[in-house]
Amino acid sequence: MDSERFQKQIAFSMECDKMKTIYRNTLLADGSRRETDAEHSWHIALMATLLQEYAPQGISCDHTVQLCLAHDLVEIYAGDTFAYDTEGYKSKTVREAAAADKLFAILPQDQCKSYRALWDEFETCKTPDAVFANCCDRFQPVLNNMATDGHTWKLNHVHRGQVEARLHLIQENMPELWPVCTDMLDTAVSSGWLTE
Amino acid sequence: MDSERFQKQIAFSMECDKMKTIYRNTLLADGSRRETDAEHSWHIALMATLLQEYAPQGISCDHTVQLCLAHDLVEIYAGDTFAYDTEGYKSKTVREAAAADKLFAILPQDQCKSYRALWDEFETCKTPDAVFANCCDRFQPVLNNMATDGHTWKLNHVHRGQVEARLHLIQENMPELWPVCTDMLDTAVSSGWLTE
Ligand SMILES: [Ca+2]
């Protein structure tokens, strides 16, 4: 064993433990607290496997799972940017690229490249796997919002059109899920969880 | 889309959200609180990818990741059994098998079978992938214990021999990691985190 290499891998794994301290806006389905990035990443990796039959053509479920597991790692330094935070989104790209440089540099060079490639692929969202992973990333918080009376939508005065814009990726790439999405949004509007 | 099938898949995914409410004995590396099963599952799935070069021969990293993601799902109903809880371990098999029956029955039949197979494979621990996943499951809490001055070891008056017995799987199947493990246990004993 190359012990310097191993020490870098362990240092990276321990740094990744901080994903358990980054809280998202989304509540757990039972409403008891906000979910962490580690929990969210686990959940969408599970969903990518569970819902693969609705995925875009030509996906690799295994590679999508890798994208899901790694997609939010940069938030260890950049923090979570709420999906409907217009100001935060302006600086998101720059903040997250700097975070990626810092975080993946902990790894041995070959793994630094492969983790960076996973994150770039997810962010660029051009491959079928990245599209599928991004769809899961957008679908899961909708389900948790529906389970918690629209908690984060109400808190942030979110409009239906904003959610629809974010779910457009699902409409285009996982069309079977779209009627389910519009049904949920209808319920959310009629319940006063989303504004029209 | 078969809407009944999809509803079962979503019901399962929402039930799995409860993995975020099952707290393990292990603390986060920063010591701030206990980690959840969802966080732990995410972490060991990440570690299986990161440390695959030390894995037993013939493993599939992708399948090991699936085992890691699913290995603790039964704890939604059975709860987490602490690794050194002798009493709890006596009833663990029965409790967890009942939980598996209940949880995976939420899924459509084909997926019920495939998730049950993942869990059975992990528990039986006979395939290279299951061995590797179990090694990750045992290695991660050691690292977090080392990061938190042996928190769960001290709290439960754990002996070095108990940890060694649990890490025997690593000694046998990921021998390159064994010197690292014994170094950590030496430190833990000399620091008073583990009894001799
Ligand atoms: Ca367990």
pLDDT digits (tens, 9 = 90+) for A63-91: 999 999 999 999 999 998 887 888 888 88
With a CB cutoff of 8 Å and minimum separation 6, the contacts of B4 are none
A6-48: per-residue pLDDT in tens?
999 999 999 999 999 999 999 999 999 999 999 999 999 999 9
State how far the alpha carbon of B129 is from the alpha carbons of A51, A67, A77, B42, in Å: 23, 20, 33, 17
Contact: B13, A176; criterion CB under 8 Å: no
CA distance A40 to chain B (A): 8
Contact: A36, B41; criterion CB under 8 Å: no
Is residue A65 a contact partner of residue A8, using CB atoms and an 8 Å limit? no
Please tell me the distance between residue B80's alpha carbon and the centre of ligand 1 in angstroms: 6
A103-155: per-residue pLDDT in tens?
999 999 999 999 999 999 999 999 999 999 999 999 999 999 999 999 999 99
Please tell me the distance between residue B126's alpha carbon and the centre of ligand 1 in angstroms: 17
**B46 closest CB neighbour out of A32, A35, A69:** A69
Question: Class of the A3-190 domain?
Answer: mainly alpha
- Interface test with chain A among B43, B116, B137, B178, by most A beta carbons within 10 Å: B43
B130 touches chain A (CB under 8 A): no
Query: Encoding tokens for residue B64?
Result: 């090991």
Angle between helices A61-70 and B37-50 (to 10 degrees): 110
Contact: B13, A143; criterion CB under 8 Å: yes
B83 touches chain A (CB under 8 A): no
Bridging pattern class, strands A34-36 and B34-36: unpaired
Instruction: Give the separation between CA A180 and CA B9, rounded to whole angstroms.
Output: 13
Is residue B129 a contact partner of residue B121, using CB atoms and an 8 Å limit? yes
Tell me the domain boundaries of chain A. Answer: 3-190
